[in-house]
Amino acid sequence: METKTMNIKVEKAKTSKIGQVDFDNLAFGNVFTDHMLVSNYKNGSWGVPEIVPYQPITLDPSAKIFHYGQSIFEGMKAYKDEKDAIWLFRPMDNCRRLNISAKRMAIPEIPEDYFMEGLKALLKLEKDWIPQTPGSSLYIRPFIFASGNGFHASPADEYMFIIAFAPSGAYFSGKVKVLIEEKYSRSANGGVGFAKAGGNYAGQFYPTQLAVDKGYNQVIWTDDNTHEYIEEAGAMNIFVRINDTLLTAPTSDRILDGITRKSILKIAENKGIAVEERKIAVSELIEAAKDGSLKEMFGAGTAAVISPISTFGFRDVDYDLPETPNSYAALFKKRITDIQYNRAEDNFGWRFKV
């Protein structure tokens, strides 16, 4: 993967916050590094990215992000190996998906070289912020939003592209308890569920809080029409293991084409694990839980990598999953993280050295 070199102007922060950070006790996404990358879209084109000190953004009250929600983002991570080398995991997939989201939200696409060269330059500047505590990494948040002004309901004429970093610990600790959602929907056919649009996540917060109030950690989203088929687990793709077969819902207008999801499917193929990408009925899940053929359920995404599910609830009944030795969840998490941290051979070409 090669991108052309460009001159990226760097304005260094006068002082660093790094000495104030306890890298052995990092929460997820609460601490931010000294610098960020910024590019502005004006007069029909993106400006060459610049690196500036991490700082607040000043926007006009009429900026269209506040009124019409043109906002998209990605989630990535950077890792350090034992030799202090910096690695990314499938970064061009994130770049391409950001632009797929941009197109759907009528946002101008960011040039791939701006994304990659800007990201590499920022990583080299902030390399000391990449934690090496087990389970930790440098979370990377590229995002684009409408900065142009006006109350007219139309796409903005100006946008900002920013990459910001947050050294982070594990997203989830332990297994999660989920509730199958029957009233609210995450997305609909023809909608923006496949895009990483900010509004997708805002719409999840209320029904998720209702589930939390009932003692669950997250919801399992079902299809918007019948609520008969499971589709995602919170903000993650969902996998189900019945006997020795791995099941996951096919991507669609409603379901995000997750990079961790794609990686799991490839590893499963490589390991000879039977996989079915198809609709998974709630009734099938309950039947499998009752007859003992349901071995595992887990969410998959960049932040958590793999998040095992211990219990799912449906219509006031909880179904506990068994403790499965040599679980697929553990196998996939180890294989992916070993590649990410450069602890094992990468036969897939996913690891990218900065």
Q: Which pLDDT does position 173 carry in this prediction? A: 64
Q: How many helices (H) and strands (E) does the chain have?
A: 7, 20
Q: In which residue ranges of the chain is CATH 3.20.10.10 found? A: 176-340
The phi, psi pair for 275, rounded to 5°, reads: -130, 140
Contact residues for 10 (Cβ-Cβ < 8 A; gap 6+): 35, 50, 51, 121, 125
Q: Give residue-wise pLDDT tens across range 73-100.
A: 999 999 999 999 999 999 999 999 999 9
Q: Which pLDDT does position 243 carry in this prediction? A: 97
Residue 290 DSSP class: H
Q: Give residue-wise pLDDT tens across range 90-148.
A: 999 999 999 999 999 999 999 999 999 999 999 999 999 999 888 899 999 999 999 99
The phi, psi pair for 132, rounded to 5°, reads: -120, 10
Q: Which pLDDT does position 171 carry in this prediction? A: 75
Q: Which pLDDT does position 6 carry in this prediction? A: 78
* CATH number, span 176-340: 3.20.10.10
Q: Are 166 and 30 in contact (CB under 8 A)?
A: yes
Q: Which pLDDT does position 215 carry in this prediction? A: 96
Q: Which pLDDT does position 9 carry in this prediction? A: 95
Q: In which residue ranges of the chain is CATH 3.30.470.10 found? A: 9-168
Residues of the chain whose pLDDT is less than 70?
1-5, 172-173
Q: Which pLDDT does position 175 carry in this prediction? A: 77
Q: Are 89 and 260 in contact (CB under 8 A)?
A: no
Q: Would you say domain 9-168 falls under CATH 3.40.50.2300? A: no
